[in-house]
Homo-oligomer: A and B are copies of this chain.
């Protein structure tokens, strides 16, 4: 990771407290029962997220750097380690839902205990000592933000697979009628582009290994693909026509009888979709979301266009600098329709993670850090695809032009969407 930030301890502490508090705000509307289940292996119980992010600070900051620190509970490291082999054995991922105990209130006490000790550490420590662990502390905050996004997607899955379809955040009249924005393809000139993080703030190790790439001219869609456009694909028999699909994707479609994005439900002959505010009619102008890479790619093939590579996406975001995005701070928790009044390329940031046709592999010159931090990203660099730009569940301060998110191509429970490219 790259950490050149040198903010003073007080500022850092305030940021720590704000971010930590935000996790609890997200979980506030939940019943204790909601916090313990794991309906699919991808989804972690909210209680687990809350404890795991605390364990991260305990294991990597408090234990090594706060003299005399005593762990909150001797078994929590075993219960709440996610995947760090360097940090000992742990509950297997698919067994996270067996952890009815510790109950929610104990986990909240654990958070409080960790927070108090981090506060003490930051308040009492001589300034120079902070430098020893500032990068890890920063990583802990970024990690917490990542889990905040996962919390939202996991809560959505927990609610959305309950036959009662309970709303996480009921909202009367979520928004006024949306307006259509015609699709246009905007030029991005070819040439040499620098890829990877070159700034002075935080970035993950997978963004390092800055390197030049050579691109040809291409064009990029001015906004995300909409529900209306995707519905055309569906109505044209898109899910039934092998010609549009990668072979493994088409096999999945048949095995799982897929015929629409995740959370879509047909009621009274009309398509609805489950949102965190309850069931809604599908809005044709909003971006289509909760798609697998396979669906995104099949749609692109059907449309005669293609997905971008992650290099093209990064180049385009250099050519069309980010506008205000729909991040988690908007409170919408769902993607919003594009704005017909806007010029240029919209929605590159926020709204939905955009599937690219790039495998999540190391950049040239990538190297893993020694110790547990080295297990953060590198060991997942196989069989996953890169997504770019953040979503309506991403904290605005968490995202960057060079940020590389990654999921297996069959995953649909994240806020994922489609942007098309085409040759000039």
Contacts and interface: CB of A to CB of B under 8 A. Distances in A.
A293 B381 CA distance: 12
Given A33-B33, A248-B383, A380-B246, A91 B163 contact: yes
Interface string A229-263: 00000000000001101111110000000000000
A28 B282 CA distance: 43
A271 interface: no
**How many copies of this chain does one complex carry?**
4
A246 B381 contact: yes
Contacts of A83: 247
A364 interface: yes
Interface in A57-100: 75, 78-79, 83, 85-86, 91, 97-100
A130 interface: no
B358 A361 contact: yes
A37 B247 contact: no
Interface stretch (A207-215, A392-400, A412-420): A207-215
A379 interface: yes
A246 B250 CA distance: 27
A379 B98 contact: no
Contacts of A250: 379
Interface stretch (A101-109, A143-151, A323-331): A101-109
A267 interface: no
A212 B83 CA distance: 39
Contacts of A47: 33
B382 A249 contact: yes
A97 B33 contact: no
A51 to B, nearest CB: 12
A132 interface: no
A350 interface: no
A15 to B, nearest CB: 30
A322 interface: no
A164 B248 contact: no
A248 B379 CA distance: 8
A158 interface: yes
Contacts of A364: 216, 309
10 contacts: A33-B104, A34-B100, A39-B98, A75-B163, A211-B214, A212-B214, A246-B381, A247-B380, A248-B382, A359-B361
Given A32-B32, A39-B97, A75-B163, 19 more contacts: A31-B32, A32-B103, A33-B33, A37-B37, A37-B100, A75-B164, A78-B163, A86-B243, A100-B162, A101-B159, A101-B164, A102-B164, A212-B214, A245-B379, A246-B379, A358-B361, A359-B361, A365-B423, A383-B383
Q: Which 8 residue pairs are nearest across A and B when measured between Cβ atoms?
A: A359-B359, A32-B32, A247-B379, A31-B103, A85-B242, A34-B100, A33-B100, A33-B36
